[in-house]
Structure 1
Amino acid sequence: MRLVRMLALVAVAGFTVGCQTVQTTRAGAVGVTRGQSMLVSEQDIETASAKAYAQVLQEAKAKGTLNRNKAQVSRVRGIASRLIPQTGVFRKDALAWNWEVNVITSDQLNAWCMAGGKIAVYTGLIDKLKLSDAEIAVVMGHEIAHALREHSRERASQQMVTNIGLSVLSAAVGLGQGGADLMGAVAKVTFELPNSRLHETEADSLGVELAARAGYDPRAAVGLWQKMEQHSNGAPPQWLSTHPSYATRQQDLARDAQRVLPLYEAAHKR
């Protein structure tokens, strides 16, 4: 067992050395500049995301909940068509992603964007909160920002680092496969695990800028989160939550909205 543990430690050290620190996006007007440590490759996470996305769509289609309301689908895709061209400001390669935008009929207040531009918006979010186009743009901008910043890849990498010792040890003693199931990891970080405060804050900032550049009033972000707060009947104290508190979030969004307001005004002059 000592030999097995030594081999596991050596393997973990090798994986740690294999981590790359990357800058996934340009700073933009909002100034997001943090470097990120990645263990999973960009191609692997995009491939896994595409498979997970296809599975979600297949299940929704089987239930009759995929793109059921044509007018709503047209509305959401129209907003996306204005947001997606703005992604090049943060990373040019995003313009060549195989973007997909679909609407799922569900009571959930939810939306997400997987790696490579795989977007889903749930009707409950739009209907229950009675969102304006600008508010939908802020939501979608936020979710697109998660993909641009490769937060799912970062979180999957963090999970691998956390679990790698056990995985390597299991493989060394013949207890199972040591490799990570990336499709499962993508589904887990998309649907189960909440984003960290840092990831949420970055996505808020980039999302507001995307909306502004697309010609949507970035100040709608504040109204959106006021609606979210009213719907949830308040929130736990910030130190008990993985997300920023509603008050903190609205304050930060108001600051970012003012910062990118000239971009919104310039978009209307074009």
Structure 2
Amino acid sequence: MFFTKIFFKVALAATLVVMVGCSSSPTGRKQFTVLPDSQMNEMGVQSFTEMKKETPSSSNTKLREQVQCVADSLIAVLPEKYRKQDWEVVLFDDEQINAFALPGYKVGVYTGLLKVADNQSQLAAVVGHELAHVIARHGNERVSTQLATSQALALGYQLSGEESPEKIAIFQALGLGAQVGIILPFSRSHESEADLLGLEYMAKAGFDPRESVQLWRNMSARGESKTPELMSTHPSNANRIKDLTANLPNNLPTYKALIAQNKGAKCY
């Protein structure tokens, strides 16, 4: 009975917190965003500035030009609002196999990624994915979800009566449940959505969308994460390959039409 009363009050608090901020992603998925995009952009620019201070950019002119070409080709096919932005792309001299994009139109690629992305289309799959995170406002959604979850739990804690060991234990369990049941699945849905949007962008830019599947095969060959997908912010490599393969028929004709017109991407 005690747990039922607490759960009801937490649910009521959560409802009050999330009654504002609903929007839709580019795929039509309902989103919860409460922070102004201008604030997210400021945060992104500040974070990117700090990263540039901490990690040197690559001195390899050829590699920098290749990465910039891939990014520019993808940006050229984005919705008009995003094509007009002043994107900044930096190739960081770091062996980690990763790339990222931040609100404020900042893109970072690590040189280590170029050892796994074997060609321009595989690199485009990664960069397109990262651009999609910005366009779909995933950063805002994630911060908003975490903020709403923490506020709902804090409000529920205040509404649930006197302090007791039972109360503390229940709210610790609710916090873990929110992490596994809300925040992590939201993160995985962001990753899956960015994969599919990135697939669309790369095909429109003249990169071979089939190479997105090969990229994740390359990633799998380097070893799957040992973290169970349930406890991870990212889908498993196998699930990404499955979803990308299933969506190739929606994007391959676009790429083939460009190739027939000799309009494929030519970055390297």
Q: TM-score range by the shorter chain?
A: 0.7 to 0.9
Root-mean-square deviation (CA), in Å? 2.8
1:22 maps to what in 2? 23
| Aligned counterpart, 2:209 | 218
**Structure 1-normalised TM-score?**
0.75
**In the aligned structure 1, how far is the partner of 2:111 from the partner of 2:185?**
20
Aligned to 1:161: 148
Change (3 A) 1:234 1:45: closer
The answer as to 2:250 corresponding to 1:256 is no
**2:47 aligned with 1:72, yes or no?**
no
**CA apart distance, 1:41:** 1.1
Matched, 1:115 2:108: no
Q: Distance in 2 between the 1:234 and 1:44 partners?
A: 33
Give 1:16's aligned amino acid: V
- 1:93-108 correspondence runs (5 A): 93-108=81-96
Aligned to 2:123: 136
Unaligned runs of 5+ in 2: 1-11, 157-183, 264-268
Contact 1:205 1:253 in 2 (8 A): yes
For the pair 1:41 / 2:36, whether they are aligned, the reply is yes
TM normalised by structure 2 equals 0.75
| 8 Å contact kept, 1:195–1:243 | no
| Residue deviations 1:97-129 (CA, integer Å, cap 9, x gap) | 2201001011111100111321000001112x1
Correspondence for 1:244 among 235, 239, 259:
235
1:125 maps onto 2:113 in alignment:
yes
Percent sequence identity is 32
> Is the CA contact 1:67–1:104 (under 8 Å) kept in the aligned structure 2?
yes
**Residue 58 of structure 1, aligned match among 53, 59, 62:** 53
State the Cα deviation string for residues 60-79 of structure 1 (Å, max 9, x = none): 2xxxx213211111000011
SS at match of 2:90: strand
Number of residue pairs the alignment of both structures matches: 226
3-state SS of paired residue (1:86): coil
Unaligned runs of 5+ in 1: 1-9, 26-31, 170-192
Change (3 A) 1:194 1:123: farther
Cα deviation digits, residues 160-182 of structure 1 (max 9, x gap)? 1123368889xxxxxxxxxxxxx
Query: How far apart are the structure 2 equivalents of 1:93 and 1:136?
Result: 24
